[in-house]
Amino acid sequence: MITFDFDARLALVTGASRGIGKQIAGELLDANCKVLGTYSTDEKSASDCRNQFASFGSDFELLKKDVSIGSDIIELFDYAEGRFSREISLLVNNAGILKQRPFIELSVEQWRNTFEVNLMGPFFICQEFLKRCHSGGSIVNISSIGGQTGGDKAPDYAATKSAIISLTRSLARLGSGQNIRANAVAPGWIKTEIFSEQQLNQLERQARQMIPLGRMGTPDEVAKAVLFLLSDAASYITGHCINVNGGMYFG
Ligand code: NAP
């Protein structure tokens, strides 16, 4: 088993209240990291998450901050510096939304909302991160297989996830002078609450035929790739995107 030690560095994980983000936050805490997480609306998941990580004491905090609101992000960074007395040097842009709808019914409002959360959010956060991170750092942006193959059920989502890969490559160039690496992880079908129970059942069945490894993935399988990219084990990797998709797409 691979273990990491992040030497009490501070990580910001967006969308840390459930699913993939919560798994990443938990694994970072286990790896000697301090973690500031965010969520925006789901109080039940937030409360469950705080309870689950209570044993980490002051090393973990989950704040209600919407990634699509620029002023929330500035407040978040200001707060982090005072509360943890160190700069955020590890960043995981994980928060994301997916609403599946036939293309011809897709409203301008949904298109905007998906872009605001999935793309504007990482833009605000990375801009602030680059302004404030002076001693080297690592960014991991969560993309999706949908951003690589296109999506007939959620083209708005697919467009944002493709753009995230492009943004990651730009950040790899922009951050290099500050010793900041930027990489992406593109998960395939991962069992989380982003899907309804009915969708999950259907995807599980389809996975047996459509995915070479014959199953959906789990949040910890994504978290492992994220921790690797955040860590010094990936010290010469930047601008890359790791697929965590069971072989569903190889590009
Ligand atoms: P999830 O279970 O729905 O969790 C999403 C998290 O993001 C929650 O903590 C949610 O909290 C938070 N969030 C949503 N909108 C937010 C906002 N405006 N501001 C701050 N936080 C917000 O989803 P997941 O499956 O873990 O997905 C995590 C990431 O992986 C997403 O970027 C997703 O696109 C990507 N991904 C997932 C899969 C998959 O199969 N599951 C595949 C490829 C990529 P609130 O609801 O309280 O805001």
**Does residue 41's CB lie within 6 angstroms of at least one atom of ligand 1?**
yes
Q: Quick check: is 157 catalytic?
A: yes
Nearest CA to ligand 1 atom 1: 194
Helix/strand number for the chain, H first, E second: 9, 7
**Does residue 20's CB lie within 6 angstroms of at least one atom of ligand 1?**
yes
- Give me the pLDDT at residue 53, please: 98
**Does residue 93's CB lie within 6 angstroms of at least one atom of ligand 1?**
no
**pLDDT tens, position by position, 120-159:** 999 999 999 999 999 999 999 999 999 999 999 999 999 9
**pLDDT tens, position by position, 66-82:** 999 999 999 999 999 99
pLDDT mean across residues, the chain = 97
**CA-CA-CA-CA torsion sign (14, 19, 22, 23):** negative
Beta strands in the chain (DSSP E): 10-13, 34-39, 60-64, 88-93, 137-142, 180-187, 241-244
**Does residue 194's CB lie within 6 angstroms of at least one atom of ligand 1?**
yes
Atom of ligand 1 nearest to the CA of 46: 47
Which of 224, 217, 220 shows the shortest CA–CA distance to 245?
217
**pLDDT tens, position by position, 162-219:** 999 999 999 999 999 999 999 999 999 999 999 999 999 999 999 999 999 999 999 9
Q: Is the CB of residue 140 less than 8 Å from the CB of residue 230? A: yes
Which pLDDT band holds residue 251 (cuts at 50, 70, 90)?
confident
Q: Is the CB of residue 18 less than 8 Å from the CB of residue 47? A: no
**DSSP 8-state class, residue 7:** T
* Whether residue 1 has pLDDT greater than 80: no
Q: How far apart are CA 95 and CA 141, in angstroms?
A: 9
Give pTM, 2 decimals: 0.98
Ligand 1 centre to CA of 15 (Å) is: 6
Nearest CA to ligand 1 atom 8: 15
**pLDDT tens, position by position, 42-99:** 999 999 999 999 999 999 999 999 999 999 999 999 999 999 999 999 999 999 999 9
